[in-house]
Amino acid sequence: MKSLIERLGLPHSHKSLHQATITGLPVELTSRLAEELGIDACVVAGWIGIAPEASLMTSAEGDAFCRLANLVDVLMSVLESDQAAATRWLTSPNIALGNVQPVSLLSTEVGGRAVRQVMLAIEYGLPV
């Protein structure tokens, strides 16, 4: 099965993805990710902070989108492709993250790392 990154049509190499993020990823990618999660595209756009009228993401929005896509890819693997469970996990307050929604931390690299650490602890059965 293809990874989420492949299904979304994002560039495979880090260099190409970096360049695409700087240039501006198409906002339509939020619709593809929303479809993978079984939710409305406006929800994903809101998580990233994309303006409704935009056609391209800013580099900060693209960075947040890529962080979200990578984390959703890992999360879907951990949850065995259960879309509803993945969305619920992303949007439910998490005690290991200071009782905030994981998705609310994805606007920064530091927040994304904290979310990933909790996800990996769950995946490997480690204490959170």
Q: Write out pLDDT tens, residues 42-72.
A: 999 999 999 878 899 999 999 999 999 999 9
The 10s digit of each residue's pLDDT in 86-127 is 899 999 999 999 999 999 998 889 999 999 999 989 888 888
pTM of the model: 0.86
Q: Per residue, what are the HEC states of the chain?
A: CCCHHHHHCCCCCHHHHHHHHHHCCECCHHHHHHHHHCCCHHHHHHHHCCCCCCCECCHHHHHHHHHHHHHHHHHHHHCCCCHHHHHHHHHCCEHHHCCECHHHHCCCHHHHHHHHHHHHHHHCCCCC
